[in-house]
Amino acid sequence: MLNFKNINRITLVLFIGLLIISVFISISVFVFILVFTGWLIFTIIGSFNITWNYHLDAYNFNKTCNKKQVAITFDDGPNTEFTPQILDLLEAYHAKATFFCIGKHIEQQPKLVQQIIEEGHTIGNHTYSHSEIFDFYGKQKVIDEIETTNALVASIINKEMILFRPPYGVTNPAITKAIKHTKHKVIGWNIRSLDTVKDNEQNILNRITKNITPGAVILLHDSQNITVRVLEQLLLFLQENNYQSVTVDTLFNIEAYA
Ligand SMILES: [Zn+2]
Residues 6+ apart with CB under 8 A from 136: none
Per-residue pLDDT of the chain (258 residues; tens, 9 = 90+): 789 999 999 999 999 999 999 999 999 999 999 999 999 999 999 999 999 999 999 999 999 999 999 999 999 999 999 999 999 999 999 999 999 999 999 999 999 999 999 999 999 999 999 999 999 999 999 999 999 999 999 999 999 999 999 999 999 999 999 999 999 999 999 999 999 988 899 999 999 999 999 999 999 999 999 999 999 999 999 999 999 999 999 999 999 999
The catalytic residue among 75, 76, 195, 249 is 75
- Domain membership flag for residue 165: yes
CA of 189 from ligand 1 middle (Å) equals: 13
Q: Same structural domain for residues 221 and 117?
A: yes
- Domain membership flag for residue 258: no
Contact criterion met (CB below 8 Å) for 105 and 80: no
Domain total for the chain?
2
Q: Which domain holds residue 184?
A: 69-252
Instruction: Indicate the length of the chain as a whole number.
Output: 258
Q: Same structural domain for residues 26 and 76?
A: no
Region at 155 (left for phi over 0; alpha for psi -120 to 50; beta for the rest): alpha
Asked about 105 being catalytic, the answer comes back as no
CA of 101 from ligand 1 middle (Å) equals: 8
Burial of 189-220, coded b for 16+ CB within 10 Å and e otherwise, reads bbbbbebbeeeeeeebbebbbeebebbbbbbb
CA of 237 from ligand 1 middle (Å) equals: 25
Round to whole Å and give the CA distance between 9 and 14.
9
Asked about 121 being catalytic, the answer comes back as no
Round to whole Å and give the CA distance between 60 and 145.
22
